[in-house]
Structure 1
């Protein structure tokens, strides 16, 4: 009997399919794009030493992302590391922002276009000297909620964050052929706690969200920190600063903890950050070069923290504390004495590191691109735009409150908050601001009668005020603590209450002052400044910077006391005469040819009437007041 042609074709197709399947099963499996294989990283099956530098997309003007990344590749780096900043991506619950300066996806894709792989550190906690360690401030509106813990309310929020973040960049992971080699699980958790249930829950959230690339943990080089911050199944890397001896000791400690794991400096601190009122930190190019030279000679992967620090624009800057200082607010500049300075220019450290890397790699490094060229700008005048108290009703709507409370309880995340009370009876004694966070300007009938500063541990001011006095307490949030045990509850404003000696004062009107774009637009559209107003108190100043063409510069804020600066609506950040930072980086991409509006808010009386631009930043710490 003869088979039909249709049946013959079907049998032939079946035979071919079986043959192909057998051949596929016999062929060696294709290696993953990136893998952690014992003590080695491997890229497409070959040993890979990660030469990374840290850069944070919110701290770099978007228009400069590509040129800064190109500088990294030209120095000999093959990878760039960045945190993802939850606070920037979810400024209010369920409101997501991955646009403009927060466009993480474009930052990662631009890095890949410039020949760089990416290590992503999605948190949810990042430290990074940013406000609240990168957590969104609205988490503090829930009484008792504890971040970095098994608190169900916190875990529900972090799960939502990971899910949304993975939707944005999940397809860019190495597990799917993309540039994101691996992801960090939490961040230096061993310096905070030892709850492995929490670490496992965070890992499960990341995996459930769709993050399936290799994971690693990152901690300081001590056994107790590794014990608290690592998990089986996730590679461990080590963070350290100092010189060559510190590097050798830290890598040795990592190898002792994980003998079979990869050796990597997750953060090699090749510089350091600054606090207001402290010194400007630096590390010699020679020390950084010696350390990187040794790591490369030993096949140790590394991440320079920072390669380019940039600027903590707006309200991004955080704070620390120590055993001797109750509060250490971070400066706006995050220059970090990095290989690229705040404006993106190569430094002597850049050249020293480039020479070292060139000796250890086989490829010819790309030429160093032309550097940015910040320019000096002629002085321009600023005129009073009204006192804060005269503008109060324009900027905010007063809310009655029996007692003063933290700003988060009024739905506010950043900025200033003003507590007002009309005295029904005279008061004399110690005016106590219980748990002041972080600086208060005390005014009686519009006149400044004192200032209290959390940095100094200030809590009380002697007062003698008659009945009918209008008492105003203007409190500035200068950055939430981002590292250590006090991270969990650093609410802002006056947290516990206001007392006269031991008696709590009641009956307040509270004015939240986030100084956001909406409020400043209302200010610009409001009534003109009153002539002859009191310029000794908190107030606004306006000026026009006229340019033939946009250029990078550094605004010199000396003579302007303390406050904030906006240029064309872009918030440059905080300035303060106590230093060490005395200038604010002004990106060319935020300027235009012709007139540029400059708005200054000062809480201390300025002695200058003009501002000018400098070609270079100024660091100096004046003697204490």
Structure 2
């Protein structure tokens, strides 16, 4: 009897296992058909939020995705950033923080579908719009054009991407339901009037063909401002409208390009907006976003909140806009975006208001909102070692040439380059660095003369250089342009001859590479400045190093209100840029990048107008304090 019971139990377990396996591997499907989104044979409206995996620490992905689920969303959209995964040509990295597969699987685990936006152009207020900087070193290559060198590089990128996610498509049982074809190309085609519409269409069709040829077999959509659908339309893809508020107009323009039928989707629905350095932090009123959300839900319009959670432009990932008033408009380190979920993952009044609306349109009770991450305050971190960048530079790689070389010619993507020219004879006059890209501090024999700044169109200054002296120009790449036709002019450093009184400076230039990559402190070989000599560092670009002990880790915000301009590293990780002008005066430190016990901090201040002894963190960010 006992043996029979055992056999029966084993049979039931085996049968249950087979049924579970069959259910897990049951064919899933997503299609655009008869004017509707069809998921597994049933109509569905997409309620999506955009979140980008590089802008949120990997350890927090699940927390943020659970917040999206608790808000009433059913999908997450993300760009894929080509330059994030191929930092140097042919060397790919999809591990750790860059593990796109893990992000997608985490979304699936919490019950969200995924919309994949591979670009290759992503805009996104991201460095170079997602393109690798080294593309500019390939002879004859022109980005975003019907250009064989570019299309060849792009095909390799798409192939690598497909290899990472091929089994995560819904056609293979995964959560990815749609893939975007290029990005906002209609607007770009309008901006680039120097290229024929025929050439634009040829390029766009070839990119779409590449997406299909590498293996993607999902429904496609495009994302554009509705007025520019004509330039960005792809046959067979659903046109998605960015920022459209008029539902009648949405239906009309989509019908015009999509067989006179829907579905209708706001591909980018803006609950907030981006911010540049030197301008006020924009706020998008909650009541307007709530009203639009209600209208879309009532009328069966699908949407994707861009952004639902912005996160942070860690390191050198922030991009820039271009306009005629400012040659460059660099984006903040914070990508808070005034989104419903704040930079640090906090629920906001906007989040709660939208959750209340969405809860009325879901067929099941919404899960509880995850608790926020613990926040701590660290007072008076002592900065015990100070280094002059001029001393530090003595041990760094140097290149000599008969002209200033760009970052790209130096095979350096990001950070800083120190340009040095020796004068045998004295010279005075107006220094002209019209080829500055983007921000510079100018010195003679280590003594600061002033600043040049592309944001303020400030390219000239008076100089008096004595006999046997060095002119030194420390140049920062402030982020490559990610939006506008000027995206095709994105080399950094000094890109044209330097002049004094309209006469080109001739002779040898020395370029010292200062990329300041993660963990760069281990490359410091010079001795720190003696404490009694700290006063000599005023107005000298300075590296500060300190250590601090923590009993427990938690999120926090480092207060940079008394500092100049530079970058910060915590335990080897680059938090991003700060600048006294604002509006951002703090940088977000994720608690998962801190640890119990000893921690290390490094601050590089290019201006160093005041020599510092300590720095502290606070519990709330300062994102709207302009000082100029």
Say which SS state the counterpart of residue 70 (structure 1) adopts.
helix
Following superposition, the deviation at residue 207 of structure 1 comes to: 1.4
> Higher mean Cα deviation, 376-385 or 559-568?
376-385
Question: Any gaps of 5 or more consecutive residues in structure 1?
Answer: 1-29
Aligned to 2:490: 490
Aligned to 1:390: 391
Instruction: Give the Cα separation in 1 of the matches to 2:472 and 2:528.
Output: 23
Say which SS state the counterpart of residue 338 (structure 1) adopts.
coil
Aligned to 1:238: 241
Say which SS state the counterpart of residue 419 (structure 2) adopts.
strand
Instruction: Give the Cα separation in 2 of the matches to 1:527 and 1:250.
Output: 64
CA contact (8 A) 2:519 2:572 kept: no
Aligned to 1:610: 614
Deviations 1:36-69 (A, max 9, x none): 1132111011101000000000000010001111
Give the direction of change, closer, same or farther, for the CA distance of 1:248–1:556 in structure 2 (3 Å limit). Answer: farther
Following superposition, the deviation at residue 520 of structure 1 comes to: 2.9
Instruction: Give the Cα separation in 1 of the matches to 2:276 and 2:265.
Output: 29
Give the direction of change, closer, same or farther, for the CA distance of 1:248–1:317 in structure 2 (3 Å limit). Answer: farther
Following superposition, the deviation at residue 376 of structure 1 comes to: 2.2
Aligned to 1:287: 288
CA contact (8 A) 1:140 1:489 kept: no
> Is 1:573 the equivalent of 2:576?
yes
Instruction: Give the Cα separation in 2 of the matches to 1:482 and 1:356.
Output: 34
CA contact (8 A) 2:55 2:312 kept: yes
Aligned to 1:123: 119
Say which SS state the counterpart of residue 303 (structure 1) adopts.
strand
CA contact (8 A) 2:81 2:118 kept: yes
Instruction: Give the Cα separation in 2 of the matches to 1:250 and 1:473.
Output: 51
Question: Any gaps of 5 or more consecutive residues in structure 2?
Answer: 1-25, 190-196
Instruction: Give the Cα separation in 2 of the matches to 1:251 and 1:386.
Output: 61
Give the direction of change, closer, same or farther, for the CA distance of 1:250–1:270 in structure 2 (3 Å limit). Answer: farther
Instruction: Give the Cα separation in 1 of the matches to 2:550 and 2:560.
Output: 19
How many residues are paired up? 588
Aligned to 2:451: 451
CA contact (8 A) 2:418 2:472 kept: yes
Q: How does 1:197-596 map to 2 (within 5 A)?
A: 197-222=202-227, 225-240=228-243, 245=245, 249-250=249-250, 252-258=252-258, 259-394=260-395, 396-506=396-506, 507-517=508-518, 519-523=520-524, 526-531=526-531, 532=533, 533-596=536-599
Instruction: Give the Cα separation in 2 of the matches to 1:240 and 1:622.
Output: 28
Instruction: Give the Cα separation in 1 of the matches to 2:546 and 2:590.
Output: 18
Aligned to 1:172: 168
Say which SS state the counterpart of residue 239 (structure 2) adopts.
strand
Following superposition, the deviation at residue 460 of structure 1 comes to: 1.2
Deviations 1:115-151 (A, max 9, x none): 0000000111100000100101111123552111111
CA contact (8 A) 1:240 1:247 kept: no
RMSD: 1.6
1:158 to 154, 160, 179: 154
Following superposition, the deviation at residue 254 of structure 1 comes to: 3.4
Instruction: Give the Cα separation in 2 of the matches to 1:251 and 1:550.
Output: 50
Say which SS state the counterpart of residue 404 (structure 1) adopts.
coil
Instruction: Give the Cα separation in 2 of the matches to 1:333 and 1:571.
Output: 13
TM-score, structure 2 length as denominator?
A: 0.91
Aligned to 1:46: 42
Following superposition, the deviation at residue 233 of structure 1 comes to: 1.0
Say which SS state the counterpart of residue 287 (structure 1) adopts.
helix
Say which SS state the counterpart of residue 496 (structure 2) adopts.
strand
Give the direction of change, closer, same or farther, for the CA distance of 1:246–1:379 in structure 2 (3 Å limit). Answer: farther
Say which SS state the counterpart of residue 455 (structure 1) adopts.
coil
Say which SS state the counterpart of residue 456 (structure 1) adopts.
coil
Instruction: Give the Cα separation in 2 of the matches to 1:517 and 1:55.
Output: 24
Aligned to 1:70: 66
CA contact (8 A) 1:559 1:606 kept: no
CA contact (8 A) 1:384 1:535 kept: no
Say which SS state the counterpart of residue 498 (structure 2) adopts.
strand
Instruction: Give the Cα separation in 1 of the matches to 2:251 and 2:377.
Output: 45
